[in-house]
Amino acid sequence: MTAGNATRPPRRLGRSIGAVFAGLLAIVILSTATDAVLHSTGVFAPPGEPMANSLWLLATAYRIVFGVVGCCIAARLAPNRPMRHALVLGSIGVVVSLAGFLATRGKGPGFGPTWYPLGLVATALPSAWVGGKLHAMRATKHVT
């Protein structure tokens, strides 16, 4: 291995971490901003107050969409293996959603129904796959 090759993996590792972080940041910003708008406009109850299941379903739906977008961003920015980057971000989503479930379990209706964080756990990897696939389809379209 030459000195030139020895410096490549860390740079790619940094780009990989940056790609996943950018996707995660997009998901967090989009979700937080949407939550804030829906709370401030009265669509959602104030934080900590109970909400109808239909509103929790709405939150689940836009989090799925934002997960797809974030994973597509991670795949787009990946230095190589874009689907792997999308799935790494999806795995982070599984861990974060599972942590949310464990932290809010049994805390009362203000933290939402039990199915809500479990739904986020269940949809994180499929959303990541869709985001990676969308990037692949778009990349293929631009190549041909």
Three-state SS across 56-74? HHHHHHHHHHHHHHHHHHH
Range of the domain at 8: 3-143
Q: Tokens for 49?
A: 């107050």
- Quote the distance between the C-alpha of residue 138 and its chain's center: 19
108 dihedral zone (left: phi>0; alpha: psi -120 to 50; beta): left
Q: What tens digit of pLDDT does each residue of 116-137 get?
A: 999 999 999 999 999 999 999 9
Domain count for the chain: 1
Answer yes or no: are the C-beta atoms of 125 and 88 closer than 8 Å.
no
Would you report the helix, strand and coil content of the chain in percent, each value rounded to 5? 80, 0, 20
DSSP for 3-49 reads HHHHTHHHHHHHHHHHHHHHHHHHHHHHHHHHHHHHHHTTSSPPTTS
SS3 79: coil
Q: pTM for the whole thing?
A: 0.88
Query: Measured between alpha carbons, how far is 61 from 75 in angstroms, rounded to an integer?
Result: 21
What pLDDT sits at residue 53? 95
Answer yes or no: are the C-beta atoms of 53 and 113 closer than 8 Å.
yes
Q: What tens digit of pLDDT does each residue of 92-101 get?
A: 999 999 999 9
Instruction: Please say if the pLDDT value at position 2 is more than 60.
Output: no
